[in-house]
């Protein structure tokens, strides 16, 4: 294991868990420990993935339950943007909008995947006829956008819920416990905020490319923008949170 001096203290707190794309893995002690552990027993990696999948499943189930409760309360159709906008004028928490984004994005990703598959078949056929077909590079960019949207659409509602929960706890704690809870709230909000910003950029890339999902993509961009504004208003600690932490 590397010297402890090479690590940034607690860098693994409040990251987006996308280790494959993180430039700080060499400075993350948790990452090094996990690599060493899975190298000793490769079956641990699969066990970790199974545990992670179970945790995500529970988070998603809680999210779906929450949005169904709000939909029932306001007599809403989940897919109806107009009715959700009406509900917001009454009282709709940030959590509700984030949960709606998760559900809409999950369905959207299924349809986007099919459009990408169809485009890939067409591009492959053209590549055999046109050397250096520029459509191939464009498709790779869209695949990158797809991966970003897919990764972060689950992160947004989960981290917003954690930010709210930790913020509430900080009010009932005292001393260091209160400070730690508030930092966790701000850090969780920061991850959600960063996830929204990256998702909006990726959705913008898809919007300029897609032929079939223009309206659906625009609707997601609008909802993501509204989440962004509400985070800035309700969870403003996200805007000043520093990551990676400075020793």
Q: What is the pLDDT of residues 133-157, one digit of tens each?
A: 556 778 889 999 999 999 999 999 9
35 and 135 inside one domain = no
168 and 221 inside one domain = yes
17 and 137 inside one domain = no
165 and 234 inside one domain = yes
Residue 34 lies in a domain: yes
Q: pTM here?
A: 0.76
- Rounded Cα–Cα distance for residues 195 and 243 (Å): 14
Residue 247 lies in a domain: no
**Per-residue confidence in pLDDT tens, the chain, 247 aa:** 444 558 888 898 899 999 999 999 999 988 888 888 777 666 555 555 556 555 555 555 555 565 566 556 555 454 444 444 444 433 347 988 999 999 999 999 999 999 998 888 666 555 544 455 556 778 889 999 999 999 999 999 999 989 999 999 999 999 999 999 999 999 999 999 999 999 999 999 999 999 999 999 999 999 999 999 999 999 999 999 999 987 5
| Residue 36: partners with Cβ closer than 8 Å, 6 or more residues away | 1
226 and 179 inside one domain = yes
Q: Could you report the per-residue pLDDT of 31-68, keeping only the tens digit for each?
A: 888 888 777 666 555 555 556 555 555 555 555 565 56
231 and 138 inside one domain = yes
Residue 24 lies in a domain: yes
Residue 176 lies in a domain: yes
168 and 200 inside one domain = yes
52 and 36 inside one domain = no
- Rounded Cα–Cα distance for residues 111 and 113 (Å): 5
Angle at 35 between CA 32 and CA 41, to 5 degrees: 145
- Rounded Cα–Cα distance for residues 240 and 166 (Å): 17
139 and 214 inside one domain = yes
Range of the structural domain that residue 36 is part of: 4-40
φ/ψ region of 133 (left if φ > 0, alpha if ψ in -120 to 50, else beta) reads beta
Residue 245 lies in a domain: no
18 and 140 inside one domain = no
> What is the number of domains present in the chain?
2
φ/ψ region of 194 (left if φ > 0, alpha if ψ in -120 to 50, else beta) reads alpha
Residue 244 lies in a domain: no
25 and 100 inside one domain = no
Look at residues 111, 112, 98 and name the one whose alpha carbon lies nearest to residue 223.
98
127 and 208 inside one domain = yes
Residue 150 lies in a domain: yes
Residue 33 lies in a domain: yes
């Amino acid at each position: 294991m590397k010297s402890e001096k090479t690590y940034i203290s607690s860098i693994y707190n409040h990251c987006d868990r996308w280790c494959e794309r993180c430039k700080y893995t060499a400075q993350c002690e948790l990452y090094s420990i996990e690599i060493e552990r899975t190298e000793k027993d490769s079956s641990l990696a699969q066990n970790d993935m199974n545990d992670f999948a179970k945790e995500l499943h529970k988070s998603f189930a809680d999210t779906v339950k929450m949005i169904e409760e709000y939909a029932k309360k306001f007599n809403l159709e989940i897919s109806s943007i107009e009715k959700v906008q009406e509900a917001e004028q009454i009282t709709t928490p940030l959590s509700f909008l984030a949960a709606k984004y998760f559900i809409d994005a999950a369905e959207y990703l299924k349809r986007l995947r099919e459009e990408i598959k169809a485009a890939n078949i067409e591009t492959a056929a053209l590549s055999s006829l046109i050397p250096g077909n520029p459509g191939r590079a464009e498709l790779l960019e869209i695949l990158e956008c797809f991966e970003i949207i897919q990764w972060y659409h689950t992160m947004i509602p989960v981290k917003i819920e954690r930010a709210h929960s930790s913020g509430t706890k900080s009010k009932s704690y005292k001393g260091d416990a209160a400070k730690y809870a508030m930092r966790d709230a701000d850090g969780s909000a920061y991850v959600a905020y960063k996830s929204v910003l990256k998702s909006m950029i990726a959705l913008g890339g898809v919007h300029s490319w897609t032929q079939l999902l223009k309206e659906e993509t625009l609707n997601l961009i609008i909802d993501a923008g509204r989440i962004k504004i509400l985070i800035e208003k309700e969870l403003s600690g996200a805007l000043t949170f520093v990551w990676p932490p400075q020793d």
